[in-house]
Structure 1
Amino acid sequence: MPALPLALALVAAFAPAGLDLEWQAPEGCPPAAEVAAATSKLLGRPLDPGGPAERVRARARVVREPRGFRLDLELQSPAGSERRSLRDRRCQVLADAAAEIVATAVDPSLAAGVPPALPPESDGTWPEEPAPSDINQSTLQSASAPAPPPAPAPAPAAAPAPVAADDPLAAPLAAHARADDPLDGPTPPPAPAPPPDPWRASLRLASVFDQGSLSGPTGGFAVALGVMRRRFRVELGAAGLAPRETRPDPTLAAGARLSLWTATLRACGVAGIRPRLELVGCGGLEAGALLGAGLGVEGARTRAQPWFAVVVGPELAVPLTRGVAVTLGADAVVPVVRPLFVLDGVGPVFRANPAAFRAVLGVQLRIP
């Protein structure tokens, strides 16, 4: 009976073989015992080493890659040798796939559901397409299905109908099309270059009204030399306040005549509000001497006390021409040292105030 030898051959071909499994994987991947247990579960029996002729030798090695893991699997079975490479973001997926492949090699009747081999890449890098997150039956079926036939190419667009030469609308339409084409229009002019901002010299003469630096309101003058640009200025100036008399007791003649002479270094930032109006913010240091001369006492002398103060305040500048501007400023003066004058036999005559106010009106010459 020819059917009996054929059946015996099929039984021998699909008879379960023994297994010799070698598993190497980085930390965090399933160990060899777990892979062997999964293989045994798929086979439905404990693993049997089997005889040398029917033993399946499986050598699996998992390596970590920048975007996941790669499984390199070598199989040696009575049917021959086979090598496979699989990739996935999770090592557990590769361990399950290795168990299925090894179980199928041991028992060929489990061939359904085993993923196909993927060609290994020589450079060890990932392909440009995103790797699948899992290996399942639907993925394998879609990968093995033949590609659908390409869609037919779309028919070329019909060329526009020619316009007759004697059509009265042809010329206006053509002219309108040329006028609307941005490529045929005139080239816009380039943006104008910013105006130059050279360094300029300045000379300022000003009158000063002061309240608080001396014993009462007084006036004075100021002169300043500086350099300037459109948004920045630096000035070095000198100022003097007219003398002011003070007496601790108005009924007595004893008192002092006070005057102040200073030098100031200040820096300013300029914001142009309008073409003919500039808003300036300034800050600087003032140093000088507060002079006091005794009055109404014998042997009165003139003494000088050091003067140091911080000066800050806004200023408005109105350029009349390129070289002339009118300035109006208001400064707050805060003495760092408050001088004290004392008359023998009378006592304290004057002590500088904690703060003073000044209004400055001047004319500024700008060169060139």
Structure 2
Amino acid sequence: MGLTKLVRGTSTAGDIFDNVNGLIDLAETSIQQRFLNHFANRDKMTYIVSGDSTRDNASNYMISYYTKQLSKVNVNVINDSRSGASPKNWFQNLWGSVSGVQHAIDSTPGTGETTILEYSFGLNGDGTGTRDADIITGLQMYMAAKPDALIILVSPVGGWVDKTQTRAEYEAIASILGIPVLHASYATDAIRQNSDFMTDGTHPNQYGSMRVVNWLMSEILPDKCRIAMDLEDAEKLPLPPNNFVITVVNGSYYTDYVPTTTRRALAKIDVEPNFNLRFKHMGDANVIVYYDQNSVFISRAVISPDANGYYNVVIPQGCYKVGINIVSADGATWDALGFRPIVEYVVSPIPWASQKRLNAGISIALPYTVNPFLDKDGKLPGVGEKPTGVVGGQWVWS
């Protein structure tokens, strides 16, 4: 297995490292043994995925892939991830019933004897310099409530600078809590600048997410479970719906001025950092306001529309909500237009990737299964189509 151990030095502090490594060995064995016990007894096991937008965002389908793969070994997946979540607001239960330490506790049967919690936070700092303490606080709350649950720390993929920092931080936290740690950036280092697998330098897309999950499962599963978790080439999924559900608010406006009934704005919209966003509203306003996950103001930008009337922006790092103004003064005239504002992500299509292609460059100890019905573009045959040839080992349907 690839659970990270500290390297013993030549100083007397090496004894500390040896003790920590012993704890990691124990935890590593316990995780594999839990899978083995569950596999042998055919009882239902729970796997909780606690994380941020590197686990669950608008375009990566990652949680559904966790669910698909772990169902092959009779494991129930619980999504405890949320875009914009941070270690602090996880233990503060900012997201209520969908993510947070209380949600993880409530999702864990009994005392946790059949549960594994995967924890991967850190990209969304709270600006207080207490990230390590926040992680420990949250995990200790969970461990106190569910003493028999097992925890796997997974340092987030992050950027080049952040990954080095978070690897060290997560290793230190693992030594304090006596739990194992994996570094997801090992799976993404080789693809970080490849848009076929990454939405940006931080967020894996559909295929980058599959690569991360494949690597994680290969690392934590015992051999008897690995053979059941085959890697089947997946049909290419459609791009996620990119049109936002929006609400026009009469009398609202994102400025320091007192709102009046003549103004119009959109209710705040949840967004993803680094994504390309465009909007069109036919009003006279040209301001977008950026907020963090707690709706705290970050900045505002004055922008100009393109030739088609669209305003185009890249959501800045740390922004998870935006406010968009529409009309500064004459709301009644704008109302009479009957125009429905458009807000959407600009998501570029990505080429289909087979399992072997998306796993290239990393060691995956899981078996491959070829889907003979997928064509070279990852599509199943349409009604009435027949195979007319083979390209790259895949059928061509027409």
- TM bucket normalised to smaller: under 0.3
| Larger Cα-atom Rg | 1
Q: How does the TM-score come out when normalised to structure 1?
A: 0.22
Greater percentage in strand: 1
Q: How does the TM-score come out when normalised to structure 2?
A: 0.21
